[in-house]
Structure 1
Amino acid sequence: MAGPYTPASAGLRLRATQGDARRPIASALPLDHTHVSKIDNSHERCAALGLSRIERLDFSPLGRSDLVVARERNQRLYAHAAPVMEMLYEQIVNSDSMVVLCDATGTIIHSIGDHDFLTRASKVALQPGVNWSEQSKGTNAVGTALIEESPTLVHADEHYMHANHFLTCSAAPILDPRGNILGVLDVSGDQRTYHQHTMGLVKMSARMIENHWLTDDYRNVMRLHFHSRVEFIGTLMEGILAVSQDGKLVGANRGALEQLGLSGAALRMHSLSTLFGTSVSALVDRFRSPLAQPQPVELSNGRQFHVHARFNWPVWHGMEPASSVSDVVATQEAPGVAAPVREPSARPAAASTERAGLASLITGDAQVGTLVDKIRRVINRDIPILILGETGTGKELLARAIHQDSERARQPFVAVNCASIPETLIEAELFGYEEGAFTGARRKGAVGKLVQANGGTLFLDEIGDMPLTLQAHLLRVLQERQVTPLGSAKAVSVDVMLVCATHRNLREMIEQKTFREDLYYRLNGLAVRLPPLRERTDLMALVERILERENPDRRLRLNPDVLRLFQGYQWPGNVRQLFNVLRTASVMASGDAVISRDHLSDDFIDDARQASAQRPAVAVPTPEPEPVQRSVPQDAMPASPAASLPVDEQAGRSLEDIELQSIQRAVDAAGGNISVAAKQLGISRNTIYRKLRWKTPR
């Protein structure tokens, strides 16, 4: 049993030890009675178990095969913890210490540390494969933290067994989002090197692992990041809540429970509305924009917090990744970072019959239909595909659709934006690197994107922005199907389906010596061009699809004025711009069934008016006979081309026939150039495509 404390000013602790006389032990530990009670309770449990302080140490760790099984069983824990352990070790290196990861039973599955101290630790079986629960090793930071389910410090003679008195150990349990213990993170060192900040580092590191686990568990649901002080959002001090679509609180990190003062079970009895007084839809509307500021919320007891919501918009609506037009801008991956491999998400019954892959891109435009047909003929034939097109036309959307329809659909889809990664880092990102390959390289190196995509699809976006010096390296990799990481002499075989995209004119770049001709022909197995939105005939089909995706619970439509505005606009930002305009309009039209000009942003209206004013006017002769009455609504076309026909040809014919013939003549006169014909008639190319598509033989 523990002996009494001397006065705090003495800075000494007296402990009775089994078989020993009472002796003073100098300690840097604060005289914390909660801590003392925790240690004394642990000693009582050990005595009750019949453990001896001087019993022979267990030097029989798990067999090699059993350790492999234990590590495989805890592979996910190791994957999240290993990089954090590396970072933690960098903070304590050369301090006679080690970092230890244990599973939920107390078995050590991984450790790193100073070589000399690892050797000393092995003499007391502090090594992988050994169980350090209280039942096995008496009072120790790992075993006691598992029992207490809280961060635990065990210093020097506080260890139950005499052999461990040279240790000082700081451990913190690692909890999953529902409060279950996943394992324990521990820093153990020579008791003479004890530092009061070690426990703080361990607790912060455990919290990092927990946050990574929560994000991984709930990447397809809404996550609320909150704190009473707005500047702490985005730090390790923030609370994180996982919220389902119906507003239930399905997970939380330790920071959330601490700030709210609730247990995991008590928290799950709440919903978003009962806890923060807000709704899922309100948060979705506010935080669709990446520029949205944290929202103030208040608990029922008056405590105030600031909340920021994060969610993957397409997956939030139960869609497969990149399965809709809105994915062009809604799935915003970090630049140069591979898109995470997602598990198939549950989809609403109404959406279960929707087309996926390339079929989802067909919305009535002949050019897109032809493009899809070409791709279907070469898919799974080991032919690289080069996607050309303006920014915002949906090149990554097409690449993902190709992947979904290929035999590699169950393997990774890795997207790399060559324009967004600094030139000095893109080689390391693509090919990977070994430890120490360059200044700032991560310990133990990193796997490159090519290796990550092995067996799946590698999408190189903006390939035209790849540095010239790197193009030769990429060409060699594609020809040899092997990657040699930076700083390594060992090549790694890779098998990927290659899809590239660019908005640049690569032929011009070849002439300017800024793009390698041999790489161009290696990438250009099949080149397809995604038409800009102004040249497509499926504008309204895209509008309907986007509105349906954005408003699954209500049917929105455009009023005639907005319809005419859309059809006459050139859409320089293409599908991405259309999506953003409609998303904003959908929010503004909350409660209305029709989108009007009042629901559009002012800058879009100004751009549309300016573009309309710059279109050349067409001289319209006034016919002498009484005008023919229009048989279609006035808003069907911005200007009627019927007046360009001779008057005698108008008599006895419907306005539709006159309009079609006028358009056909203008197109023929322009040699089939739709842009020239549109300018001559003073109407948009969309109108010409639409009218000619509706034309039927008579």
Structure 2
Amino acid sequence: MRLRTEQRQHIDTLVHLSEGRDVDLSGCREVIQRSWRRCVDEYRLDPGRPRSVRVLTQQAMLDHREPVDELLHVARAGVDQLFSQVARLGYVLLLTDRRGITVEFRGQREQDRALRQAGLYLGADWDERYAGTCAVGTSIHDGQAITCHQSEHFDATHIGLTCTAAPITDPQGDVMAVLDISALQSPRSQESQNFALSLVTLYARMIEDAYFLHRYRDCLVLRYDTAREFVHVNGRGLIAIEEDGTIIAANGLGRALIKAHLHRWPPWSPGRVPSITELMDGDISDFLGIHTASDDQIRAFRARASDTTCFVTLIEPRVRGGASRALPASSAPEPVPALDRLASDDPAMHRVLKLARRLRQEEVSVLITGETGTGKEVLARALHDTGARASGPFVAVNCAAIPESLIESELFGYLPGAFTGGQRKGMRGLIQQADGGTLFLDEIGDMPLSLQTRLLRVLAEREVMPLGAEQPVKVDIRVITATHRDLSQMICDGHFREDLYYRLNGAQLRLPALRERADRHYVIRSVHEALVAERAHAARLRADAMSALLAYHWPGNIRQLKNALNFALATVEGDEITVHDLPEECLVDVPRGPSLLEQAPSRVEDADGRALHDLLTQARWNISLVARRLGVSRPTVYRRMHRHGLVPPNHRH
């Protein structure tokens, strides 16, 4: 009875809030007030109509679980350990994905029915947009740990609960999961949950760090703390680096150190990650030699930004050089170099390549999707080269590049005299040329509807009818297709045949955009090494150039990256590619800070400097235009500007 009265009062308060009437919220925390207002103003939730618990079907829940499967594997020990500590106090444990869907659950069997009714169950949706103010949903929105206690919940059916949640972030700082402990009953005071907040926050950080170490297990990792005694057992900071000191990734404390450094040294933009030798006072040899520097394998360094001492140890990769340690034969994935070279440690690419390994020996049709330039043809060729048809031809057809008037004859071929303007002896079509091998149809979404019907017959009958022929010709082909278009939407719009779609989509491989990939550093380095191998002159990537490439958003993906590096290699004058050797488009996300040699134009005293300044002014600081007028490369202009201390007006403080 008391609960119903409280629910009625709670509903009245929120109804008044939604109607814009004066409500006394003086006893309500600010974080909860903000969430209530989001529920009313943005999500349009009706407080007078409590929502029933939404639990996803098993298949839908599995779809949410798959993207965080690697995290669940790492987190399981922490989840079990935390639950063992809170279970006797009446708490259950939930681990949700970044959308608030419960993908892991621990609870008591005797409470099963009550927990299911309360939504404390596997597959339950705790998104703030649906469930209203709650620990999981509000933690996701605010990106911080929070307790949502009893009447602080928006939905009246939840006001008997107390829930405490903390976000688990990936190495880039984005929320990828939420750890939550909840109870059906608890003391009235919100302060009674302070211990829960501390405990959940601690375990969320432990899981984050365990995931970081797992993710970068093949890299050099610096682990540090401000107390030497805790470095080996509980060093809070983690920074993964290359052997040249380039920072690859960092955990929460490491990212905070990087942010503090960039704030203190404004000439570096927020998009630029400093090397470890810029972050801490020492040479790279000092960091790589930590194990031999002292008996406890810890060495002290000064953090430049905070002027504090960090005690650092080095965690070396299992096998030097980034190769994974060999697994037992029963569990080691089959090495497939042509596929393995396509990615490093990006989870999305790992899933794609894991499926590709299984599909490469099969005859099933494969549809590869992804933005333009993501490497769809490279993946298609790798599937062919590592499969049973590797000795056969690989015929690639860009359906968007062939004129519509010619695509039919190009694909199906024609007999002599089939049409005016054709070759006198006729022509074998591309489909026949792929006989015994693989036919790769790129940009299949651009194929005209009329030809989609003919292609469907080829796939169904495994025979092709050349133009002018009376008898079909049998073909033995495996078909791989690719597109950057949304074929499902094209089907709805009547621009793509649904039956053809299901013929082509025996299995689908989606390539992530370069900007989404966690292994961008590996991709950039691999493309650079491949281009250098084709040239007599080699130029290495300097750290500032690598930082600029990592910061850029790459709308053209790997194809654009290849063009940018080709440009740099073609125009660089030395043996080192700097940020100034890159195309201008790659510098959009890397604003250049003021030069240490910056001077006012009036202080440019030598004649060469004044002449260059006048030319730049006339061209309105268009570097490319000045380079063309001088007959030199853009990097040369940049170097001359630097020599004379010339900085574009919009780059000065």
TM interval, shorter chain, is 0.3 to 0.5
TM-score by length of 1: 0.40
Higher relative contact order (CA 8 A, sep 6+): 2
Computing the radius of gyration from Cα coordinates, the structure with the larger value is: 1
TM-score by length of 2: 0.43
